[in-house]
Amino acid sequence: MSVPDLGWAPPAAPSGGGRAGDEANYYFLGGAPTAAPTREDARAFDVTAIRADFPILSETVNGKPLIWFDNAATTQKPQSVIDRLVHFYQHENSNIHRAAHELAARATDAYEDARGATRKFLGAEADENIIFVRGATEAINLVAYAWGGKNLGHGDEIVITHLEHHANIVPWQLIAQKTGAVIKVAPVDDAGNLLLAELEDLVGPRTKLVAATQVSNALGTVTPAKQIVEIAHRYGARVLIDGAQSVPHLAVNLQELGADFFVFSGHKIYGPTGIGVLYGSEDALAETPPWQGGGNMIADVTLQRAVFQGPPNKFEAGTGNIADAVGLGEALRYVERIGLDRIAEYEHALLEYATPRLAAIPGVTLVGTADHKASVLSFVLDGHDPVEVGKALNADGIAVRAGHHCAQPILRRLGLEQTVRPSFAFYNTFDEIDVFIDAVRRLAERGGPKA
């Protein structure tokens, strides 16, 4: 059922939409550009107009303009997403997939429209492949407990990488304990590059699943996700790709990538918290039983048995996070209006600008210098605990993450327990990087207590 136009419409793209051409993004499949983009190259990207779309960027912290360099933890929200949420609660709020009244139709249309927007954004085959969950963590747990609980047995192997967030480690440890499966870990080199040949050596006839991040949240390493999928599929293994850190920065086409499962969180890509996505291929979802039981996911129930609907409803028991799914749909449209290729190019220029300037500060050691990176610029400063560095930067209005970033194995592989992690988004500026570099330099020059 379609609904009448209630007056809400998205704003025009602040920077004129995406660039023509369908060449692969250089982070994803196409290799690095021949020359790093410069500050001058990025002038065509209208970051001033984009920043005007984000009201929180006008905030001050400790009397200084807010510099939000904690984008790998969460991103800020454009006014169009905020407006879409308000519009939903003012004009569409209802439960979905039930009732014959007008608001139920409006809410259902808005929710399913968001699913369609997500399918389009990811290049998935059909809306039925898109399952709304609370976030990437819940999506991975759904696959681990539902798919893994059915398809893993004693001695079966799960291959992960040393780069993983805890959310792509702990669920597999838990299901391995239940099923008797064995976890193997693909290594990285000292720069944080995934060693693909070593991963390939780990995959074999006993491998049932390969679970790998596409972009490391701690180092920013971009992994060769398509090659990982191809290696796993040679042995008939399923593949889960954690896209929590890749979706905001890289062009992803799931039909080209070929992953069986793909997950991400809405709040990492300018959408609300509490909403995320699990993509599953038709074959993979057919192998996956329901994870939770309740309303919405059933076709018929008696006191003796239940008949379940097909995907996606099969995996969306109960009342979901309707409003925030709608907000996620608008966030993805907002990103599309700007163009992920243009976003990736601009963010790459930011990273290329910041990296040598930070590395030149005496006492700074960069952590994670892989050949292909996105967004993240982790470091440590001699004589300073990372948390103290984070507090000092906060005094200048600069928000960074300091700690282990829910990625202790990769930091320990590099001999560390914590780092300072600035991470960039397309609303950040070169001037903000200059302020950040100056703040770190002042801190390095005045010294501090030993960690």
**What is the distance between the alpha carbons of residues 247 and 241, in angstroms, rounded to a whole number?**
11
**What is the distance between the alpha carbons of residues 426 and 357, in angstroms, rounded to a whole number?**
19
Tokens in use for 131?
Answer: 């399952």
**Gap between the terminal Cα atoms of the chain:** 62
Taking the CB of residue 202, how many other CB atoms lie within 10 A of it?
Answer: 17
The residue type at 274: G
**What is the distance between the alpha carbons of residues 262 and 100, in angstroms, rounded to a whole number?**
34
Which residues, other chains included, contact 53 with Cβ-Cβ below 8 Å and sequence gap of 6+? Answer: 11, 14, 78, 79, 80, 334, 427
Q: What is the CA radius of gyration of the chain?
A: 22
Closest CA to 164 of 228, 237, 71: 228
Which residues, other chains included, contact 26 with Cβ-Cβ below 8 Å and sequence gap of 6+? Answer: 32, 33, 344, 348
From the list 406, 416, 435, 451, the catalytic residue is 406
Residues 22-46: b if buried by 16+ CB within 10 A, e if exposed: eeebbbbbeeeeeeebeeeebeebb
Concerning whether 322 is annotated as a catalytic residue, the answer is no
Q: Mapped to the 3 state alphabet, what secondary structure does 129-164 carry?
A: HEEEECCHHHHHHHHHHHHHHHHCCCCCEEEEECCC
Q: Catalytic amino acids?
A: 406
